[in-house]
Structure 1
Amino acid sequence: MLITCPYCLTRNRVPPERATEDPSCGRCGKAVLDGRVHELDEAGFDAVVAGSELPVLVDFWAPWCGPCRMMAPQFEEAARQLKGRALLVKVNSDEAPRLSQRFTIRSIPTLIQFREGQELQRMSGALQSAQIIGWLK
């Protein structure tokens, strides 16, 4: 399967059976599926979201948002538990206003699930890690 490195935006081919073994990027050497939440900007968004065959879960958030800050550790825990099965990323809606407009983000936090660049579903409001994992499945 193809996975775009969230660090250098290089597309990498990863055998599905090795997705949970911390595969590294062929260009920068960093782990492409490390179970971490990665921050994306407008420049890297399409490369990562459209360039990954794994499901990508995007959290649109802002630093001033209380529910967003409350959900952040839960989102990080979900990323750890979904390591190798999904890529979890965050987009700061204040720093990426064109993405917020493009996806009609009206409230935050808003989670949007993508597969190969196509939006599958969305949900607004803070969730616990178990809810995030259950919703993604």
Structure 2
Amino acid sequence: MWLSNIITLLFCISFTAARSQRPYEPPHYSNSKNIIELNPLNFDDFIYSSNYTTIVAFYAPWCGYCKQLRPEFEKASKKGHNYAQFAAVNCDEEKNQKLCAANNIKGFPTIITYRPPKTFRENIERKEQFATQPYENKRDAASFVDAMKGTLKSFVKKLKLKHLPKYLKIEESSKIPRVILFSDKFTASATYKSIAIDFKDLLEFTYVHIDNDDTANYVKELIPDFQYSEGSPVLLVVDPKKGIVTMEDKLSKYNISKFLTQFAEPSEGEFSERHKIIEGIKNGKVKSFLHYKKKQARKQAEKQLDKDEL
């Protein structure tokens, strides 16, 4: 413990001395749509409360290699934010220096991934179950995106045709609605896997491989309204209350997620409260996850007080 404290102190002293000799440069990603600048107030909550892998660039604004990384990391976040969380820490800021030292940052840019397990153990602190690893692949946008796709956990199950009739007859006692994607693909796509992560434990995700016309006709016998053509996947939900509900819009992550919000509120993704918190942190309206929750609690208390007065 004493050794780590000394290392942290030396890091902060050397950094402060070097910083005083350079002109101020603003953070690289403060205006980024898909990358969040982290600090000690939000670092743990952002990374360890997610079921996604987070890739973090520890950098200094004056660093030449960091400036070279910036456009590639930005481009990767635009294409890959559906598959992972993209974040950055400006180690040049005094408030972040202990955080950078705690993550053993010795040069810039240092890129680290924080990967969650597929299943968390209740008797171990969540943070301790993440695999923390230096990113050692190529530092171009395509490589970042490919690497992050590879970290996606799959909560999607392949449904065999022989089980489909029973699967469609969901009973009122069933715990959660069931989402089925009918597609000519042999495996679930990264996008579909990411949606399953957003609605993890709230909806059950499966897919059925449509390999020929006979298969499509068989499904149509079970679902009279089923309309399928090769290359045009079909998504539906089997809900205990609403029955079978087929999605009509074009299948994209945004459209599918919006469609599914009628069955459950996601814990992650664009339609979640978590997304509101992150956006609030990025635009400066809230300082941290805890700050957001306190603000919400105050609002609820004020609403309750107004009701009581009525």
**Is the TM value for this pair above 0.5?**
yes
The residue that corresponds to 1:111 in the other structure is 111
The residue that corresponds to 2:92 in the other structure is 94
Contact 2:137–2:143, Cα closer than 8 Å, also in 1: no
Higher helix share: 2
The residue that corresponds to 2:82 in the other structure is 84
Which sections of structure 2, spanning at least 5 residues, go unmatched? Answer: 1-31, 117-126, 151-310
Picking from 55, 63, 69, the partner of 2:67 is 69
The residue that corresponds to 2:55 in the other structure is 57
Q: 2 CA distance for matches of 1:82 and 1:71? A: 16
The residue that corresponds to 2:235 in the other structure is none
Aligned length: 104
Which sections of structure 1, spanning at least 5 residues, go unmatched? Answer: 1-33
Partner secondary structure for residue 81 of structure 1: helix
The farther-off stretch of 104-113 and 119-128 is 119-128
* Structure 2 residue identity aligned to 1:127: R
Please give the root-mean-square deviation of Cα atoms over the aligned residues, in Å.
2.2
Q: 1 CA distance for matches of 2:92 and 2:74? A: 20
Contact 2:138–2:144, Cα closer than 8 Å, also in 1: no
Runs of 4+ in 1 over 4 A off after TM superposition: none
Deviation at 1:135, TM superposition (A): 3.7
In the superposition, the TM-score normalised over structure 1's length comes to 0.67
Deviation at 1:130, TM superposition (A): 1.7
From the CA coordinates, give the structure whose radius of gyration is larger. 2
Q: 2 CA distance for matches of 1:97 and 1:125? A: 26
In the superposition, the TM-score normalised over structure 2's length comes to 0.31
Deviation at 1:35, TM superposition (A): 6.3
Partner secondary structure for residue 60 of structure 1: strand
Partner secondary structure for residue 43 of structure 1: coil
* Structure 1 residue identity aligned to 2:115: R
Q: 2 CA distance for matches of 1:125 and 1:109? A: 13
Contact 2:55–2:111, Cα closer than 8 Å, also in 1: yes
Contact 1:113–1:121, Cα closer than 8 Å, also in 2: yes
Structure of greater relative contact order (alpha carbons < 8 Å, 6+ residues apart): 1
- Identical amino acids, percent of aligned pairs: 29
Shift in alpha-carbon separation, 1:133–1:127, aligned structure 2, 3 A: same
